[in-house]
C-alpha cells in the first residue's frame, strides 16, 4: 500500500468521523454552519447530513479497499468534496463577502478542497 492509498483511506475515515460527530453533536455543527440547531427538526436535519457523510465514507472504504480495491469509489467522494469547495468559493462572488468570511469559512474550504484533491488523484 502506497502513501496515496493510505491518504485516501484517511480521507474516507475523515468523512465517517465528520458524520459521526454530526450525528452526536448536531447543535455544534449547526452553529458552525449558521443553521438553526435549537429545535428538534433542525437537529434531525443535521443528523441526516451526518448519516450521509457516514454512508459516503463507509461506501468509499468498502468499495475502495475491502471488496474491489477500486479507485473509482474514492474518486466519486473526491468529486463530491471538490464540488462543495467550488460552491463555497463561488459563494464569495454571489454573497456579501463580509457576512460569510471568517476563520471557519477558510478552514472548511481547506477541509473540502484538499481531501477532494487527494481522493480524485489516480493511484
Residue ranges of domains in the chain: 3-120
Q: Give me the pLDDT at residue 82, please.
A: 94
Q: Which parts of the chain sit beneath pLDDT 50? A: none
Which pLDDT does position 68 carry in this prediction? 67
Each residue of 4-17: b (16+ CB within 10 Å) or e? Answer: eeebbbebbeebbe
pTM listed for this prediction: 0.81
Amino acid at each position: 500500500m502506497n502513501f496515496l492509498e493510505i491518504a485516501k483511506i484517511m480521507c474516507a475515515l475523515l468523512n465517517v468521523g465528520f458524520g459521526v460527530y454530526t450525528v452526536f453533536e448536531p447543535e455544534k455543527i449547526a452553529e458552525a454552519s449558521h443553521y438553526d440547531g435549537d429545535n428538534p427538526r433542525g437537529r434531525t436535519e443535521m443528523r441526516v447530513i451526518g448519516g450521509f457523510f457516514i454512508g459516503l465514507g463507509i461506501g468509499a472504504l468498502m468499495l475502495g479497499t475491502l471488496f474491489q480495491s477500486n479507485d473509482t469509489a474514492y474518486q466519486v467522494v473526491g468529486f463530491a468534496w471538490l464540488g462543495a469547495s467550488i460552491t463555497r468559493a463561488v459563494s464569495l462572488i454571489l454573497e456579501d463577502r463580509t457576512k460569510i468570511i471568517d476563520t471557519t469559512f477558510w478552514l472548511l474550504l481547506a477541509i473540502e478542497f484538499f481531501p477532494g484533491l487527494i481522493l480524485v488523484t489516480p493511484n
